Amino acid sequence: MDFFTAQDQARRNTGRLVLFFSLAVLFLVVMTNLLVMMFFGYYHSLHGSAAGPATFDWQLFCIIGLGVVAVVASGSLYKIAALSSGGDAVALMLGGEPIFADGGDPDQRKVINVVEEMAIAAGIPVPQVYLLKESGINAFAAGFSSSDAVIGVTSGAVRHLNREQLQGVIAHEFSHILNGDMRLNIRLIGILHGILLLGLIGYRILSGTSRTSGARKGFGPLLLMGLGLVIIGYAGTFFGKLIKAAVSRQREFLADAAAVQFTRNPDGIGGALLRIGASPDGSLLKNPHCAEISHAFFGQGVEVFFESLFATHPPLAARIKRILPGWDGIFPSGPNVSSVKDYPDPVSEEAAGGAGLGLTGAAMVARVGQTSEADLGYARILLNGIPEVLVKAARDPFAARALICFLLLDSDTEVRGRQLQYLKSSADRGVHAETLKLLREGGALRPEQRLPLVDLALPTLRRLTEPQYRLFLNNLDTLIEADGRISLFEWCLRRIVLHHLHKVFGRPAGRGPANGDLAQVAGACVVLLSLLAHAGNSQTGGAMAAFAAARQELGLEIELAPADRVGLPELDRALVDLERLAPQLKARLLTACGACVTADGVIAPIEAELLRAVSASLDCPMPPLAI
Amino acid sequence: MAIAILVLLLVVGGFGLYLIGVFNTLVKLRNRYKNGFAQIEVQLKRRYDLIPNLVETAKAYIKHERETLEAVIAARNSAVQGLSAAAADPGNAAAMQKLSGAEGNLVGALGRLNVVMEAYPDLKANQNMMQVSEELTSTENRVAFARQAFNDQVMEYNTYKQSFPPVVLAGAFGHGTDATLLEFADSAAMQSAPKVAF
């Protein structure tokens, strides 16, 4: 399933979620009413009042209904608010500890290397990795978007899986990130919390009354009420599990398929599933909070009795059979042997494939939200080629700021001198010295290595405090303006950094309804395509040809705007409008951009970077183009 | 009658959820600054580990200024103690002040050492000395960075805790005292030291 269809599907699933949720609340209202009527019946019979036929009191029904809705709503809203700060909140809720590449454990470093490689191959910022202290083999991905995504792995997984199996599991999690499943997951947790709240209250009442000497008359009804609420709570849980299963089960097969597609290696994810089957703890998790998010894990995290109805994941054997059709049904117990070494040999440039040469616009768009073995190989080459000192800087919040400043240093010595002088006087203490150090030891950086370095640095920059972040942004802006103009690369860098960090530091704006009409944003399309056309073609003839190719893909009646009328501020404004397009329209727009860029048969580095920045701003991650 | 009970239950319930929210936020913000202190600890430890190296290298050249060198080591040792006391309870006023004072002493002692080293050009040109000095400067920058982050997080905690309505609840929830910022005396004296000007 391609990225844009998957995004559409995720939105539709949200609709189904709301439907099921409403049904569940209705059911809860009815059951609570029954309970209350029984309660009053008991009360009346106890006090011997004339118990006539129970008349159905609409007023009471409405009030109780409102009461139930209010409880469920407040529970859901509370939980969604608690998780609103993004993936990190979910990971911390599960008791996860962030792990970093400069920690001492080689197994942990292996996990981080796998995650970094895959993120660069997919064109998204590297997610922060969290460790869960569980012996089961499992992993999860959480967050609202790729900007605040986190990946969690259990210590069981770190210890028992080799590199190719880890890669398979991480690829499965990445497909969740790339398909937009995670936002749905967070909403799911919030909603379920509300439904379960009634049962939790009942449980508390029950445990409260049972502790006191229970036989006193006055507590009888209260005990009954507690018991009743617990029963209702089970009804809520029933619906909750049904909802989870309905929404999440099919996705797991799809994610497995995507993992195989990304890595072109069924033994990776297949091997991981086999390990889970062979291991005594399987993929089970002990932390009770994990049950709330069981649908977002790689493997089945909680025991279920009626596996078919309530399981959030398909049965293990079924999953393995789909991936490894020749499986003989036996789980191999024994040391973990893999066909791939733990630290694979560097891939040669030829072997990685020329991803990017000879691509049409449509083929480029087909790569959005996906990655492939060739991309992974290319990512590994890129990573290995970047000077070690710069990679280390990207992983440390203090030096990451200097790294971005370093990337913005101009090649013109006079401008560079001014930029460095500015850093010395106004930047945070130490940034100037660190930038000089990177300049000295960084060596020559190839153009295609610059944006992947930014991908590496983004999760580190997320760790800045808000005042530090504001100062950092100020420095960025001043550095860019040092030569009195904004170059295209500077704009791309600033755009990507701001787009991702703003989601973490700013108040994330809720996604409004998607815009289904391309004609409404025609002006914005003109700006974007004209700028792309002019950027890649120094003469107007070439620009017109490129624009014509784009217009054909887009299907709108638009004209190329002259170069001096489409500047970067206009593009910034245009992207705000274009961000809200429906997924299928974004696909069309990106195809048009791709056609524009490939019209002259040559993809210049700046065109590739522009395309990267634009697709990142539209939340359509694109793998790096090998040029 | 039933209506009144229900409404009361709802109000109490909603209020209860709000209380839970405030409690959880207080805990989250406090944990955040405690973790922030751990970053300072890492960098300060690095700094304290570099100092014996500095003193050993200097000893070979500076034969007559024993007290200056010993003062540096003594200040460094008491700073190490101040650090472990502070790490046990970050944000505690007494611990923060003690660490701050110990750091101030250390900076003063190092400053005096630098003044002495001025008179030994051979020492200044020594490779090892240059390397250690550069690492010291870099570590100090990182200490400043980590300290700034810690103070930001302490401010966030204190501001939330003092705002209304959490201010009413904070005491009851076990968040009675404000956390203290970590202020170091401005080590501009260190910056102007000849280490980097080699």
Question: Which residues of B fall within a CB distance of 8 Å from A402?
Answer: none
pLDDT band of residue A623 (cuts 50, 70, 90) is: confident
pLDDT at A76 over 80: yes
Answer whether A84 touches B (CB < 8 Å): no
CATH code matching the domain that covers B2-191, chosen among 3.40.50.720, 1.20.1440.20, 1.20.1510.10, 1.10.150.20: 1.20.1440.20
Residues of A tagged active-site:
173
pLDDT at A131 over 90: yes
- Distance from the A85 Cα atom to the nearest Cα atom in chain B, whole angstroms: 12
pLDDT at site A351: 46
Answer whether A70 touches B (CB < 8 Å): yes
Report the residue from A40, A433, A467 with minimal CB separation from B137. Answer: A433
Q: State pLDDT tens for residues A225-240.
A: 777 778 877 777 777 7
Answer whether A464 touches B (CB < 8 Å): yes
Report the residue from A67, A429, A437 with minimal CB separation from B6. Answer: A67
pLDDT band of residue B149 (cuts 50, 70, 90) is: very high
ipTM value, please give it: 0.82
Mean pLDDT (chain A, rounded)? 82
Q: Which residues pair with A151 in a beta bridge?
A: A129, A141
Residue A153 phi, psi (nearest 5): -130, 150
pLDDT at A487 over 50: yes
3-state secondary structure (DSSP) of residue A509: coil
Q: Which residue is closest to A401 within chain B, CA to CA?
A: B145
Torsion of CA A606, A610, A616, A620, to 10 degrees: -100
A329: left (phi over 0), alpha (psi -120 to 50) or beta: left
Q: State pLDDT tens for residues A494-506.
A: 999 998 998 888 7
Q: State pLDDT tens for residues A164-214.
A: 999 999 999 998 888 877 877 777 788 888 877 777 777 777 777 666 655
Question: Which residues of B fall within a CB distance of 8 Å from A43?
Answer: none
pLDDT band of residue B188 (cuts 50, 70, 90) is: very low
Q: State pLDDT tens for residues A35-47.
A: 777 777 766 776 6
pLDDT band of residue A581 (cuts 50, 70, 90) is: confident
pLDDT at site A255: 86
Q: At what angle do helices A219-263 and A373-385 cross, to 10 degrees?
A: 80
Q: Which residue is closest to A81 within chain B, CA to CA?
A: B21
pLDDT at site B198: 33
What percent of chain A lies above the pLDDT cut of 90? 15
Placement of tokens 């660069």 in the chain: A120
pLDDT band of residue A245 (cuts 50, 70, 90) is: confident
Contacts of A139 (CB under 8 A, 6+ apart): A151, A152, A153, A154, A157, A169, A170, A172, A173, A297, A298
pLDDT at A49 over 70: no
Average pLDDT, integer, range A420-430:
86
pLDDT at A473 over 80: yes
Answer whether A85 touches B (CB < 8 Å): no
Domain ranges of chain B: 2-191
Q: State pLDDT tens for residues B79-119.
A: 999 999 999 988 888 999 999 999 999 989 988 888 888 88
Interface test mutation site (partner A, options B35, B145, B153, max chain A beta carbons within 10 A): B145
**Which helix (H) or strand (E) element contains residue A130?**
strand A128-132
Question: Which residues of B fall within a CB distance of 8 Å from A64?
Answer: 6
Q: State pLDDT tens for residues A322-375.
A: 888 888 888 887 766 655 555 555 555 444 444 555 567 777 788 888 888 888
Cα(B142)–Cα(B126) distance, integer angstroms: 25
Average pLDDT, integer, range B148-160:
93
pLDDT at site A346: 52
What percent of chain A lies above the pLDDT cut of 70? 89
Q: Which residue is closest to B145 within chain A, CA to CA?
A: A398
Q: Tokens in use for A484?
A: 């009195």
pLDDT at A134 over 80: yes
